[in-house]
Amino acid sequence: MPRRTADQLRPIRLTPHTIIHPEGSVLIEFGDTHVLCTASVEERVPKRLSGKGSGWGTSEYDMLPRATGSRRDRDSRKGRINGRTQEISRLIGRALRAVVDLNKLGENSITVDCDVIQADGGTRTAASTGGCIALAHAIRLLESQGRCKSGALRELVAAISVGIVEDQLQLDLDYRMDSNAQVDMNVVMTASGELVEVQGTGEGHTFKRDQLNSMLDLAFGCLPTITDVQQRAIDTPLSESKVTLTT
């Protein structure tokens, strides 16, 4: 298989309403990375927000033990949460809160669970991108039931990884690329082209400002493709559950 071009995404596949219980759900696939995202609504908020009319949103990310090439032990068996797991959960939570008007949400909490079923690099960006869809479903449901003000979701948010592998820029790193990357960057963007979060890291390498800029160019270049398929998934009616949409 020839290497993708620098600006080429892996195929994205979205299966909305994939689970019957949650207020929103989607199975998102970036190539061989598959993440199940669900949104759960509760009519209460953390104590510090109580009585202020404002809502809250948070996220929890985890991986099934055999989502990866070799089996990793469950955090629950080890009795402590992996640092990486917590870090990614917090990143996704910030990404989603950036596009939610918490005042319009009313005193509701939305928890977006992102569970990696199969991993091949880019799980946190797939989770953020899919999490936005589950969140949108849940907010739409709340709106339709008059349980929150309209416009609580200001716009869509999407995320993609980009890096430098063997001295070459590459969008949307898979696991093999990621393992060999000199620089690995995650970019969280709104549909309107603003930044929510930039996390660029050299692993045993450093990088220059013009490389940072080139990586941002690639990330913003794929934004319309991602937000288009996201929007279609959000607009899929519940009656068409398990229909898969693609880029």
Q: Kindly list the residues in this chain that would bind its own copies in the complex (CB under 8 A).
A: 19-22, 25, 32, 36, 38, 40, 42, 60, 62, 64-71, 74-77, 79-81, 83-87, 89-90, 94, 97-98, 102, 111, 113, 115, 117-119, 185, 190, 194-209, 212, 216, 220
- Closest distance to its own copies from the beta carbon of 245 (Å): 17
Does residue 151 contact residue 120 with C-beta atoms inside 8 Å? no
**Closer of 106 and 200 to its own copies (Cβ):** 200
Nearest to 234 by CA among 130, 144, 147, 151: 130
CA distance 164 to 183: 5
* Cβ neighbours of residue 39 closer than 8 Å, sequence gap 6 or more: 22, 23, 24, 25, 110, 111, 112, 131, 134, 135, 137, 138
**Closer of 81 and 238 to its own copies (Cβ):** 81
**Closer of 169 and 220 to its own copies (Cβ):** 220
**Closer of 126 and 185 to its own copies (Cβ):** 185
- Here the tokens at position 59 are 């996220």
CA distance 238 to 247: 20
- Closest distance to its own copies from the beta carbon of 4 (Å): 19
- Closest distance to its own copies from the beta carbon of 3 (Å): 20
**Closer of 108 and 111 to its own copies (Cβ):** 111
CA distance 158 to 187: 8
CB atoms within 10 A of CB 9: 18
- Closest distance to its own copies from the beta carbon of 143 (Å): 20
Does residue 128 contact residue 190 with C-beta atoms inside 8 Å? no
- Closest distance to its own copies from the beta carbon of 146 (Å): 21
CA distance 231 to 136: 10
Look up tokens 């099934």; give the residue: 64
**Closer of 118 and 231 to its own copies (Cβ):** 118
- Closest distance to its own copies from the beta carbon of 93 (Å): 10
CA distance 177 to 121: 8
**Closer of 51 and 204 to its own copies (Cβ):** 204
- Closest distance to its own copies from the beta carbon of 232 (Å): 22
